[in-house]
Structure 1
């Protein structure tokens, strides 16, 4: 497992490198468990949690098409995402400021903003000069793509807090962005459609459009603790 997570960091494409490095350094303490009672998911799995409308989140992938109003990209698991841009959207290429022209077909991007199903109103677009759209990282941690009629496994990796579906407070702003970046660094492939702050100050990043994982848990210092 530790070797796989090291590969995940090597394939990092859309998130904070320090978050991935921190997770990799503690990978040896993580373990995967599975049970024989899988949980069925609807066609666009939500995985439970607080009910909300559009909320802060994001996703990582490879740009497929561009237009004057936005672009589309595909995640490592083949999820098609539509991005709308605005005059307030900020762009970086790596760690440097950039313009919308940096978003080109074939570019690896992390998009942060307001998520509504498979559409993101972009607040920030990070272009990764040497990224692969999260493919290596997703494969290394075993993200399972969504398939109609296929149940999700009851499997967990790392430390899972005492968490009850529906608890916590949905957050936005810098905290949501940092939690999403941390989650996408380690477990890309799906869409993070909200970030929930738990009573202990940690975060649950909700993951949709894949069969597993649906919940990514992030520490107060924005380090991935585990996922299920």
Structure 2
């Protein structure tokens, strides 16, 4: 399992802080999650990376996930949730940031129910806002080859279709977290450091209120 747990020493982090960061693939959520984890001493999990590890190890779950993903579908809850919960158990479901989860509102509900048994909870859900066209332009400008655990087709048509599917699935998730006042929308188009500054201000306020 490729994640790093840093022992907290700063008095600001006496409270349990659990974050989610979501957005269209290529929006920069993994980059921001890494920076957030480093600054606030959180364990960073990437849902895509957790799935890739299962596939690489050729576990029963990994083989099934690869078959589903290769068809252009998202891995179902019965695959995603056990993998994620197993990883979170290693850190007692505390002080983490997860990128790329949830993808369906049922996953959000399942996460909250699981955390209630700890007891714990999600404190903030960061939504990186960007369009598929902007993601494609960003990658073309950098000369990147788009690679993802859940997408092999890099054509503009495929990316547009993925955005449509994403928009349809993300609305119920955003509505769900909006109702609990945990949603934070951030523009993913500015430079990385500008985005990080905006997110940091929100997290700092969260920490202040918890302390």
Instruction: Provide TM-score, normalisation by structure 2.
Output: 0.28
Structure with bigger gyration radius: 2
More strand by share: 1
More helix by share: 2
Instruction: Provide TM-score, normalisation by structure 1.
Output: 0.27
